[in-house]
Amino acid sequence: MEEGYFNIEEKSLVVEQCKKLIGSVKDLISLSDINNVHSIIKNGVLQDYYHRDKYGINPTTRNLSTALLVTEYIGPDRNMVIAILLYNLCKSGFISIGKINDLFGADVEKMVSGLIKVSELYQKQAAVEDENFRNLLITFAQDIRVIIIMIVDRLGIMRIINHHPNEKFVYDISKEARYLYAPLAHRLGLYTIKSELEDLSLKYMNRTIYTQIAHKLNATKTDREQYIDNFIKPVKLALEKAGLKFEIKGRTKSINSIWHKMQVQNTDIDHIYDLFAIRIILDTPVEREKADCWVVYSIVTDMYTANPARLKDWLTIPKSNGYESLHITVNGPGERWVEVQIRSRRMDEIAESGLAAHWRYKGIKSEKGLDEWMNNVRDLLETENGTELIEMMSRVKMDLYNKEVFVFTPKGDLFKLPMGATILDFAFQIHSRIGCTCTGGKVDGKNQKINYKLKSGDTIEILTSNQQSPKLDWLNFVVTSKARNKIKQAVNEMRFKAAELGKELIQRRFKNRKIEIDEAIMMKVFKKLGFKTATDFFDEVENLDINNIIDTYLSFEKKDVESQIAPVTAKNFVLQQAPEKESDSSEVLVIGENLKGINYKLSKCCNPIYGDDIAGFVASDGAIKIHRSNCGNLKHLIQKYPYRKIDVAWSGKVGSQYAVTLRIVGQDDISIVTNITSVISKEENATLRNISIDSNDGLFQGILVLGINDRNSLNEIIKKIKNVKGVKDVQRSDN
């Protein structure tokens, strides 16, 4: 290798690391593999493809260290070691993925590809404490061995960055170790790695606290060791007397664990009593493991008083990551609480090395068994709460993230969306306004259309335009409910505004022709022209022939008038006397020259109520129809038959309640109906007789039939309904 690439210390270290690594995997890696790996690394260095990173760390020593740690904590594995040593050179372009496959096989190629993809995530500047980042990491890795390599590599780099001059680099590496890799190591049962990662991250992120606890532990080291010896001695004698084969040892809890207890208990280290734990490891056959552990439990609790509230039985039901042990807390000499862990040798190896040890004990050595292990561990890692080990082992491989994609903003914010989500879905996920004005996006710097389907790891910059507006056909490709709902709501609001403009246009053109619009007749026009609702009609007015609309209206109006009037002359009209049972109702109205006992009806075309300006019209049957003065039907009737008009007025005495129809438009909200009905119920002069609700895509349309005493009461209740939150408009309807 190039002389300037290594300093003297590194050359010595590399030689030592190579010897250890070859010794660890000598039964798995052939001489041909060793020569190929050495040749590739040497040529990569000579051609300047394999050099120190920007923080001055030599990748050769780092990768060798990671490979050694993998063999120590996980177990020797030919493919993992080769992938660790070569992925940097593959990433830099010195050797292709295809060449890796040719020389070392598809399995090594798969891990190298995973390591390269995972390393690309760190260019996104995402927050590693975000749970979505962990999920994306798993998605990119594809193989759990890649995750294990990343965890072990992080331990290796954490060991060598103490007092590194770049404080931000040290902080960032420590933060990733604490919030990402330590939790992942815990989920895999790699407790030793997890504990060291947490201690080192505390050391680099809060060196003052770490140093205080470390100094305190060091100052009391002799006392603790003496106490542990005093505690162990009688236990050891009792276990030997019972004929058990065992190893017993004591250890001080990790600095991070002590710091956590100090925070939880809100105290200082002097008041943390269970600073250390005793572990009893039994050499016993598998079939006697649990029974012998409980024998030890009996011996220890006979000697020291146990705290039953602190008993943790992971023998009966192991943890989801395979951890098995019996934890008890007893009151030792000097009234000090001591935790005692009781387990077999097999259980201890699983506790230290995680599920890898479990599979080794199962005797699975074939590549198929290794794949099964990897798949099952991945299941465990991806499941939020995990499952019992026996269930996990029986399950087939599954990918919990095959229905989701994880994408970035240019600033590194991470979003989770369903599989099949598009740029437009992402735009609405950020903000409704951005979604409504989205014209496309840049995905990793390349322009894409709004219907581009996102892939995990994409970085999306949304492009917008003030000229853009939501389209109904957007619903054909968006997949998130938020996007669909917002598109429907926006389109309906646009249609509502367009309908309002269309309605104004119709009213203006009718006014120019001196035609008073009657809503009942206009509804017939809508249906005649093929529209289901008034909104549909007014939304399309600009595309229709207004003259045709007016002609259709006039034809319906003519038929309506003719149906109300018989062709008779003025001299034939005789006012019909009201039936006896209705005679008292005449007190509400003054008809003509204070005529009494005249039969009259309130016209349904305009539904007048007490207090409205009104006029009477003598129908062909002799009864008087009472219209509102501004009723369009009344005007046309009087134009043709002026002699049938009769003056009427309210007598000043309010009669029974009158039916009034109100049309309400507003924003769809779960509480809007409740609020409206609440307003009505509080009115003494109004009752709710009927209510019809139409809620569609964010818009609320309601028709209320009220019983109202008089016009003043109606005006008051309309005013109050308009003040209800979400109500946009309230109009009195003629029918």
- Among 597, 620, 650, identify where a domain stops: 650
Is the pLDDT score of 127 beyond 80? no
Rounded Cα–Cα distance for residues 511 and 632 (Å) = 12
Q: Same domain for 40 and 186? A: yes
Whether residue 590 contacts residue 666, with contact meaning beta carbons closer than 8 Å, is answered with: no
Is the pLDDT score of 341 beyond 90? yes
CATH number at residue 446: 3.10.20.30
pLDDT at 246: 93
- Band (402; pLDDT cuts 50, 70, 90): low
Tokens 């008779």 -> residue: 568
Enter the tokens of residue 403: 């229905």
Q: Which residues are bridge partners to 376 per DSSP?
A: none
- Of 697, 722, 672, 663, nearest to 494 (Cα)? 697
**Percent of the chain residues past pLDDT 70, beyond the cut:** 82
DSSP letter for 404, please: E
728 inside domain: yes
Q: Which domain holds residue 79?
A: 3-205
Is the pLDDT score of 456 beyond 90? no
Q: Same domain for 319 and 422? A: no
Dump pLDDT digits (tens) for 66-83: 999 988 887 778 889 999
Rounded Cα–Cα distance for residues 641 and 242 (Å) = 122
The mean pLDDT of the chain is: 80
pLDDT at 290: 93
Q: What is the CA radius of gyration of the chain?
A: 42
Class of residue 532 by CB neighbours under 10 A (exposed 0-12, middle 13-18, buried 19+): exposed
Question: At 502, is the secondary structure helix, strand, or coil?
Answer: helix
484 inside domain: no
pLDDT at 525: 82
- Among 420, 445, 479, identify where a domain stops: 479
383 inside domain: no
- Band (54; pLDDT cuts 50, 70, 90): confident
Q: Same domain for 232 and 173? A: no
Q: Same domain for 47 and 174? A: yes
Enter the tokens of residue 267: 């105290």
pLDDT at 1: 45
Is the pLDDT score of 251 beyond 50? yes
Q: Same domain for 711 and 630? A: no
Is the pLDDT score of 397 beyond 60? no
Dump pLDDT digits (tens) for 548-596: 888 888 887 777 665 555 444 443 444 444 443 333 444 577 776 666 5
Chain mean position to CA 492: 26
Q: Same domain for 140 and 179? A: yes
458 inside domain: yes
pLDDT at 576: 45
Dump pLDDT digits (tens) for 280-325: 999 999 999 999 999 999 999 999 999 888 899 999 888 766 789 9
379 inside domain: no
Helices (H) and strands (E) in the chain, counts: 28, 21
Q: Same domain for 56 and 71? A: yes
125 inside domain: yes
Q: Same domain for 69 and 101? A: yes
pLDDT at 469: 87
Dump pLDDT digits (tens) for 693-710: 777 766 778 888 888 888
Percent of the chain as helix, strand, coil, to the nearest 5: 55, 15, 30
387 inside domain: no
Q: Same domain for 170 and 80? A: yes
391 inside domain: no
Rounded Cα–Cα distance for residues 220 and 261 (Å) = 18
User: What one-letter code names the amino acid at 86?
Assistant: L
Is the pLDDT score of 254 beyond 80? yes
Residues 6+ apart with CB under 8 A from 454: 405, 407, 417, 421, 422, 423, 425, 426, 443, 460
Q: Same domain for 646 and 534? A: no
- Among 520, 541, 564, identify where a domain stops: 564
- Band (532; pLDDT cuts 50, 70, 90): confident
CATH number at residue 689: 3.30.70.260
Tokens 């040719």 -> residue: 102
Which stretch, 125-134, 272-281, 418-427, 573-582, has highest mean pLDDT?
A: 418-427
Q: Which has more confidence, 87 or 515?
A: 87
CATH number at residue 287: 3.30.460.10
Dump pLDDT digits (tens) for 2-53: 445 667 777 788 888 888 888 888 888 888 998 999 899 888 888 888 778 8
Specify the length of the chain in residues. 735
Mean pLDDT score, 255-270 = 80
Residues 6+ apart with CB under 8 A from 319: 189, 386, 389
How many domains in the chain?
Answer: 6
Dump pLDDT digits (tens) for 81-95: 999 999 989 988 899
Q: Which has more confidence, 657 or 85?
A: 85
- Of 300, 3, 343, 295, nearest to 191 (Cα)? 343
Mean pLDDT score, 666-674 = 77
pLDDT at 398: 31
Q: Which has more confidence, 201 or 51?
A: 201
Is the pLDDT score of 364 beyond 80? no
Q: Which has more confidence, 426 or 49?
A: 426
Q: Same domain for 586 and 695? A: no
Dump pLDDT digits (tens) for 589-643: 777 666 656 677 888 778 888 888 888 888 766 678 888 888 888 888 888 788 8
Chain mean position to CA 532: 38
pLDDT at 726: 84
Whether residue 38 contacts residue 63, with contact meaning beta carbons closer than 8 Å, is answered with: no
For the stretch 161-164, contacts whose Cβ atoms lie closer than 8 Å and that sit 24 or more positions apart, written own/partner, are 161/204, 162/203, 162/204, 164/55
pLDDT at 583: 37
Q: Same domain for 642 and 578? A: yes
Enter the tokens of residue 223: 């006392």
Rounded Cα–Cα distance for residues 347 and 337 (Å) = 24
- Band (735; pLDDT cuts 50, 70, 90): low
Whether residue 253 contacts residue 276, with contact meaning beta carbons closer than 8 Å, is answered with: yes
pLDDT at 366: 38
